[in-house]
Structure 1
Amino acid sequence: MNHYELLCILPGTLSEEEAAAHIKTIQATLVEQGAQELSVEDSGKSRLAYPIKHIRYGYSYICNFAAEPDMIATMQSKIALLGNTLRTLFNAVNPQAKQALAKRLAEVKAYRGSEEQETVSPEPLPKKTDAPEPAEPVATTTKQPETTKIDIDKKLDEILDASIGDI
């Protein structure tokens, strides 16, 4: 026998009494189909993430139970025939893993609670100062020696004489 979780979302257009009566019929259907250890958790009325059948609000109920795996398909079809349900979702659950998760969450909450008590006041940040304006770039000029026509002719003669001497 496996453990299962059934999430039922009923329309928010129902009154609380009508929603409670409808979840009782769902419980009766589950028991009739062979569910054992049935427990129901009312999550209340809340806004849905997106409209389902043009309805924006819904009542959420989580039913935990144990049943044979071959009975789940018949449970789904019987609950679908009841009507007045926006969504139903059957999920297989490992009870030991669920208990371990609950224990871990309690430890994390306890740790965060002690962490909040030990908060240290942060040091004040230094005031921001305006950055200095960038300085004007300094133009650098280098003096190049003036080349005259005579200097160029001398240099050409040297190059030509050197190349003729190599031949």
Structure 2
Amino acid sequence: MNHYETVFILTPVLSDAQMKEAVDKFKAVITDNAGAIVNEENWGLRKLAYPIQKKSTGFYTLLEFDANPEVIKKLETQFRRDERVLRFLTFRLDKYAAEYAAKRRSLKASKPAAETTNVEPENKEA
């Protein structure tokens, strides 16, 4: 199994429930075909570099997963068939990119814990 990363942009007119349903649909395509989701990041609503279908913003989502190459064809077919997807990009990570992604995930996981432990007391001056 190869390690893949896919980023896709959903149309900004979706509600939060519709956006989550679309992401779950694509995650199901991966897991139903013997793939495993490694990481999911919701980057939220962001401005696009250029208008796509007269829209200037979109919901960005990143999925890291392990799967066989046949799964990619099925996943990208689903991306093309779904009208909610503005753009998508899927690529296979080599060993260096996979190491970097794992390192980034571990740093991101430790960052919120460090922020809560390093809380400075408020300065109470009268």
Q: Which residue of 1 aligns with 2:81?
A: 81
Q: For residues 95 and 83 of structure 1, do their structure 2 counterparts lie closer, same or farther at Cα, with a shift above 3 Å needed? A: farther
Q: Which residue of 1 aligns with 2:57?
A: 57
Alignment of 1:14-163 (within 5 A): 14-94=14-94, 96-100=96-100, 102=103
Q: Which runs of 5+ in 2 are unaligned?
A: 108-126
What's the C-alpha RMSD, in Å, of the aligned pairs?
2.1
Q: Which residue of 1 aligns with 2:7?
A: 7
The answer to whether the Cα contact below 8 Å between 2:5 and 2:62 also exists between their aligned partners in 1 is: yes
Q: For residues 99 and 78 of structure 1, do their structure 2 counterparts lie closer, same or farther at Cα, with a shift above 3 Å needed? A: same
The answer to whether the Cα contact below 8 Å between 1:33 and 1:75 also exists between their aligned partners in 2 is: no
Q: Which residue of 1 aligns with 2:116?
A: none
TM-score normalised by structure 1 residue count: 0.55
Once residues 25 and 31 of structure 1 are traced to their aligned partners in structure 2, the CA distance between those partners, rounded to angstroms, is 10
Provide the identity percentage: 25
Higher-strand-fraction structure: 2
Q: For residues 99 and 38 of structure 1, do their structure 2 counterparts lie closer, same or farther at Cα, with a shift above 3 Å needed? A: closer
Count of residues in correspondence between the two structures: 104
The answer to whether the Cα contact below 8 Å between 2:44 and 2:59 also exists between their aligned partners in 1 is: yes
Q: Which residue of 2 aligns with 1:112?
A: none
Moved over 4 A (4+): 100-103
With a CA cutoff of 8 Å and minimum separation of 6, indicate the structure with the bigger relative contact order.
2
1:105-163 CA distances to partner (integer Å, 9 max, x unpaired)?
Answer: x8xxxxxxxxxxxxxxxxxxxxxxxxxxxxxxxxxxxxxxxxxxxxxxxxxxxxxxxxx
Aligned-pair CA distance for 1:98: 4.2
Q: Which residue of 2 aligns with 1:116?
A: none
Once residues 56 and 31 of structure 1 are traced to their aligned partners in structure 2, the CA distance between those partners, rounded to angstroms, is 32
TM-score normalised by structure 2 residue count: 0.71
Once residues 93 and 7 of structure 2 are traced to their aligned partners in structure 1, the CA distance between those partners, rounded to angstroms, is 12
Once residues 78 and 92 of structure 1 are traced to their aligned partners in structure 2, the CA distance between those partners, rounded to angstroms, is 18
